């Protein structure tokens, strides 16, 4: 498993490292990344001055944002997708072998209705101008979170929190430690919070169009600042296939360590859950009735007419014992085992095993 982060304003990966990490994710291997791997930097520069005069000099996260962001589910509008990317800010050093007159060179304003439909079918969202009844689109939108927009719209309202609320229940909330909050079980929002080390919002909205994205915890601010369980903008822990994100890393909060026992347990759960989602090829082993392993390919003798038979036996039943080991399968999933027989292998038996 690859782990990135556990540091405030993590810093910069090289372009080569960012591309290697993206390829690593594409293989199905596990990755856990954390707070402030990303930032709002999408064009290279050494500093940025806000409306209140504050200068941000680090420029951290640039190659993460322009190369890895889509692979970890933080590109809601597809601006960094190698095919559908529509941002004119895409730096030339990361543009792959794409027709520059196609998607990459287009803003939303130049896309046809068919283009937009294709974008949605690919799992992205189209940004429309507010109050336009979806008549006009917004070009080059990055999909920043409400928190980052509020901070840099001029108010410098930098919100932090030490509370998170539980959104879903699963392995990450239960194993090896059961850290499910009382309020989540009893549907009582007042007791659905957990103390964590001080942290804050991240920079890009989560792409909730992906079927394999699950948000487990959200940041809790005051009611005037964010919506309750706003998974798109205020995620604290989420998983997307073999990718897991944790909001840990802004500060150690050593003064409150005794109050954060549940957070420590949740962190252990997160590490284990992130490791276990790595894509591993399933294994099938055949055995005899006693459980002893036999050849991986289980061969049975048959009569000339293709009917299964065992010499010297009058029992028409034929028992096949096998074990399927798939570490990536979860509850409420079905495993199908298929068997074929006959010289042309055109006789098939299909068995479904409900877990």
Which residue segments constitute the domains of the chain, with CATH numbers given? 2-76+143-276 (3.40.50), 283-354 (no CATH)
- CA dist 183 → 163, 187, 191, 244 (Å): 14, 5, 4, 24
- Mean pLDDT score across all residues of the chain: 75
pLDDT at 269 over 90: yes
Alpha-carbon distance of 318 to 341, in angstroms, equals 13
* Predicted pLDDT at 300: 54
pLDDT higher at 294 or 83: 83
Per-residue pLDDT, 326:
63
Query: 32 vs 62, which has greater pLDDT?
Result: 32
Average pLDDT of 129-151?
Answer: 82
Range of weakest confidence among 15-19, 59-63, 207-211, 238-242: 59-63
- Which residues partner with 218 through β-bridges? 165, 235
Mean of pLDDT values over 299-327:
59
Round to whole Å and give the CA distance between 181 and 175: 14
The three-state (H, E, C) secondary structure of the chain, written as one string: CEEECCCCCCCCCCHHHHHHHHHHHHCCCCEEEECCCCCCCCCCCCCEECCCCCEECCCCCHHHHHHHHHHHCCCCCCCCCCCCCCCCCCCHHHCCCCCCCCCCCCCHHHCCHHHHHHHHHCCCCCCECCCCCCCCECCCCCCECHHHHHHHHHHCCCCEEEEEEECCCCHHHHCCCCCCCHHHHHCCHHHCEEEEEEEECCCECCCCCCCCEEEEEEECCCCCCCCCCCCCCCEEEEEECCEEEECCCCCCCHHHHHHCHHHHHHHHHHHHHHHHCCCCCCEEEEECCCCCECCCCCCCCECCCCCECCCCCCCCCCCCEEEEECCCCCCCCEEEEEEEECCCCCEEEEEEEEC
Instruction: Read off the pLDDT of each residue in 130-156 and give the average, rounded to a whole number.
Output: 79
pLDDT at 98: 42
Mean pLDDT of the 3-32 span: 86
The predicted structure's pLDDT at residue 135: 82
Res 331: pLDDT: 46
| pLDDT (tens digit per residue) in 182-196 | 888 777 777 888 988
Q: Based on C-alpha coordinates, what's the Rg of the chain?
A: 26
For position 112, what pLDDT does the model report? 74
Tokens encoding 234: 């205020």
Mean pLDDT of 237-258: 79
Judge whether residue 215 has pLDDT over 70. Answer: yes
For the cut 50, the answer to whether the pLDDT of residue 57 exceeds it is: no
How high is the pLDDT of residue 246?
94
Structure confidence at residue 42 as a pLDDT band (50, 70, 90): confident
> Higher model confidence: residue 265 or residue 158?
265
Over range 124-135, report the average pLDDT: 86
For the full predicted model, state whether its pTM sits above 0.75. Answer: no
Q: Are 246 and 275 in contact (CB under 8 A)?
A: no
pLDDT of res. 228: 79
Residue 107 pLDDT exceeds 70: no
Q: Are 161 and 179 in contact (CB under 8 A)?
A: no
For a pLDDT cut of 70, what percent of the chain falls above it?
Answer: 63
Residue 97: what pLDDT?
Answer: 39
* pLDDT at 165 > cutoff 70: yes
Distance CA 197, CA 263 (A): 8
Which pLDDT score is estimated for 31? 94
Instruction: Find the mean pLDDT for residues 332-353.
Output: 58
Q: Measure the CA–CA gap between 7 and 251, rounded to whole angstroms.
A: 8
């Amino acid at each position: 498993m690859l782990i990135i982060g556990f540091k405030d304003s993590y810093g910069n990966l090289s372009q080569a490292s960012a591309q290697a990490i993206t390829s690593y994710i594409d293989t199905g291997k596990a990755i856990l990344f954390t707070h402030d791997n990303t930032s709002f930097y999408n064009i290279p520069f050494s500093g940025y001055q806000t409306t209140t005069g504050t200068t941000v000099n680090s420029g951290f996260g640039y190659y993460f944002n322009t190369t890895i962001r889509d692979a970890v589910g933080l590109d809601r509008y597809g601006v960094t997708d190698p095919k559908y990317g529509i941002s004119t800010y895409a730096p030339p050093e990361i543009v792959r072998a794409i027709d520059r007159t196609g998607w990459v060179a287009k803003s939303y304003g130049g896309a046809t209705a068919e283009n937009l439909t294709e974008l949605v079918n690919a799992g992205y969202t189209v940004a429309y101008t507010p109050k336009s009844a979806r008549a006009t689109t917004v070009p080059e939108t990055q999909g920043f979170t409400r928190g980052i927009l509020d901070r840099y719209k001029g108010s410098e309202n930098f919100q932090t929190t030490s509370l998170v609320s539980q959104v879903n229940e699963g392995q990450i909330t239960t194993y090896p430690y059961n850290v499910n909050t009382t309020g989540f079980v009893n549907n009582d929002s007042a007791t659905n919070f957990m103390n964590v080390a001080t942290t804050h919002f991240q920079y890009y909205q989560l792409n909730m169009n992906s079927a394999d994205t699950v948000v487990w915890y959200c940041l809790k601010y005051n009611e005037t600042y964010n919506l309750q369980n706003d998974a798109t903008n205020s995620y604290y822990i989420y998983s997307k296939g073999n990718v897991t994100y944790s909001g840990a890393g802004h500060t150690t909060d050593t003064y409150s360590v005794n109050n954060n026992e549940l957070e420590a347990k949740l962190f252990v759960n997160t590490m284990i859950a992130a490791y276990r989602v790595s894509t591993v090829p399933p294994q099938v082993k055949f055995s005899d009735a006693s459980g002893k392993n036999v050849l991986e390919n289980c061969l049975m003798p048959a009569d000339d007419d293709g009917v299964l038979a065992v010499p010297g036996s009058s029992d028409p039943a034929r028992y096949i014992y096998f074990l399927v080991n798939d570490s990536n399968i979860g509850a409420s999933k079905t495993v199908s085992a298929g068997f074929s027989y006959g010289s042309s292998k055109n006789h098939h038996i299909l068995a479904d095993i409900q877990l």
